């Protein structure tokens, strides 16, 4: 019976090697998973940054249109007031 236990059980050197190999494999798998998660987050951040830039660009365009409209309204009001002054004189 002890001979069978000796055959089945590993020597301490094999146990240490097995644990070390498992630790290395676990480390590599963890590293690969973590790098995948980081790459996914970087891609999402870039997507959000691009969305923010396009939104900001659109806001600037709309502000420019509003400013141009206000300027046109001011010019029309100036023309109307000057025309009214000429008629009154």
pLDDT at residue 55, as a whole number: 97
The whole-model pTM stands at 0.58
Phi, psi of 23 (to 5 degrees): -65, -45
Q: 81, exposed or middle or buried, with CB in 10 Å at 0-12, 13-18, 19+?
A: exposed
Q: Could you tell me if 10 and 18 are in contact, meaning their C-beta atoms sit under 8 angstroms apart?
A: yes
The predicted pLDDT at position 22 comes to 94
Alpha carbons 16 and 27: distance in angstroms, whole number: 16
Write the CB contacts of 18 (distance below 8 Å, at least 6 apart in sequence).
10
Domain ranges of the chain: 2-88
Cα separation, 16 vs 37, in Å, equals 31
Q: Dihedral of CA 9/10/16/21: which sign?
A: negative
pLDDT tens by residue, 41-69 = 999 999 999 999 999 999 999 999 999 99
């Amino acid at each position: 019976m002890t001979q069978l236990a000796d055959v089945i059980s590993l020597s301490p050197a094999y146990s240490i090697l097995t644990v070390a190999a498992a630790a290395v494999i676990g480390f590599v798998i963890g590293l690969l998973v973590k790098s995948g998660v980081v790459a996914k987050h970087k891609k999402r951040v870039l997507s959000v940054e691009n969305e923010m830039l396009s939104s900001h660009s659109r806001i600037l365009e709309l502000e420019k249109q509003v400013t141009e409209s206000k300027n046109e309204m001011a010019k029309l009001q100036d023309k109307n007031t000057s025309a009214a002054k000429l008629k009154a004189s």
